[in-house]
Amino acid sequence: MKYLILTLACSLFTLSSIHASTPNCEKLWDKFNETKTLSAKYKRVMGNCDREAIMIIGSIAKKASSVSYKDAKKRMFKTLDNRNGRVCSVYSDHCLQTRKVPNHREMNAEHTWPKSRGADRKPAISDLHHLFPCNSEVNSIRSSHPFCEVRDVEWTNGMSSMGTGGGRGKCFEPPHEHKGNVARSMMYFSIRYNKKIDSRQENFFRKWHKEDPVDQMEIDRNNAISRFQRNTNPFIDHPELVDFIADF
């Protein structure tokens, strides 16, 4: 009996702790509703925060078609990120004239959420919402290092940097104009595949999400991906949804 009471007490404490993580949930939604509305497929999110919001948003993002990695790369290099026969790396100023998947030694697909940390099999490995064209050399330098704002630079190409950012180990800083894209890709991956984001990276992602907001190019890319794999990134559709999640 004592064990049962203790277990129930612990469960109640856990539930109350989760609920308490966003004490202003109702006020946040009231403020949102003053000036904005959710599109039809996100109506179920209304009034929810934190784990409940993650579950609902995640269930929406999961309604997708699984595509092969080969087909995803074809789509990315031939149409999705191809501008008049030219594809540019997201981490450098390197661009390539191509109408097909290039030699992997020159340019390949950057997995924003590293393959070694949970994106090594379908559908995650071929999910275009976190895949971007990248110069092969810079892609190797980034490797699976976490993202940060580098303080002590060990390597830079003038756009991206590798070094330390006040935490343990090396970390990678993407170009300013791609930071918001990185943040929204990582938060999407987190809710789509039930993967936790460490608090240090999450702080940067929230900052970058605000500093580098969604632009028309990102919206167009999001919609183009939807026509291929049948889902969108919720944090591009409705950037404000990030504010209703206290912990990814």
Phi, psi dihedrals of residue 93, rounded to the nearest 5°: -95, 15
Token readout for 65 is 């078609």
**What single DSSP character describes residue 147?**
B
Helix H segments across the chain?
2-20, 25-35, 50-61, 69-75, 136-142, 176-193, 199-211, 216-229, 234-237
Distance CA(213)–CA(103), nearest Å, equals 32
Quick: pLDDT tens for 130-153: 999 999 999 999 999 999 999 999
HSE-CB for 41 with a 13 A CA cutoff: 13
Our CA dihedral for 214, 207, 149, 175, rounded to 10 degrees, sits at 10
C-alpha distances in Å from residue 114, one per residue of 34, 147, 158: 39, 11, 23
% pLDDT > 70, the chain: 90
Secondary structure string (H, E, C) spanning 154-182: EEECCCCEEEECCCCCCEEECCHHHHHHH
- Taking all residues of the chain, what is their mean pLDDT, rounded to a whole number? 92
Is the pLDDT at 13 greater than 50, yes or no?
no
Quick: pLDDT tens for 192-233: 999 999 999 999 999 999 999 999 999 999 999 999 999 999
Quick: pLDDT tens for 89-136: 999 999 999 999 999 999 999 999 999 999 999 999 999 999 999 999
C-alpha distances in Å from residue 117, one per residue of 22, 65, 120, 190: 28, 22, 8, 11
> The whole model's pTM is what?
0.90
